[in-house]
Amino acid sequence: MAIYNIVEIGDEVLREKAKAVPKITRNILKLLDNMAKTMYSARGVGLAAPQVGISKRVIVVDAGEGLLELINPEIIFAEGEQVDTEACLSIPGVTGEVARAYTVHVKYLDRYGKENIIKAKGFPAIIFQHEIDHLDGILFIDRARSVTKV
């Protein structure tokens, strides 16, 4: 396993619409493993493949309840609102206040190619929305009501 370099704002890959994964290959499994390792190494709670320079629809999340690996994640339900402070490994030294849905349901494929739906509320729901935004080239500063340098 390897730790990837995390690309930072200014790199075009962060602004691209990432491509769906058509088939779960050994390379995709390796990507998942290395993304998890990279996320934990950086003490992040979520990481999207474009943040390691790979424009594919893959995210990893750990909101404190264990590792979740999502391939082709899609928000199929969103409800309510919450405003919280966000940061991003690709935008060092900046936080922002962002309004997000309070509850989301996310459909995705797991590493075995099985379709699942995860229901999240509160902090984990924020992470899913933030990471899935990365797959569409959207950064939290695009949505922030205010931005602070830290």
Question: Is 31 or 52 the residue whose CB approaches Ni ion more closely?
Answer: 52
Closer Cβ to Ni ion, 60 or 71, answer by number: 60
> Using the rule CB under 5 A, which residue among 14, 28, 39, 88 binds Ni ion?
88
Which of 107/137 has CB closer to Ni ion?
Answer: 137
Token pair in block for residue 6? 């995390």
Annotated active-site residue 86? The verdict is no
Does residue 127 interact with Ni ion by CB under 5 A?
Answer: no
Site string for Ni ion, 17-46 (x = CB under 5 A): ------------------------------
Token pair of 17, please? 């619409």
Q: Is 50 helix (H, G, I), strand (E, B) or coil?
A: helix
The helix (H) or strand (E) run that includes residue 149 is strand 146-149
Torsion (CA) 138, 139, 143, 145 in degrees, nearest 10? -170
Greatest C-alpha distance within the chain: 41
Return residues touching Ni ion (CB under 5 A). 88
Active-site positions read 131
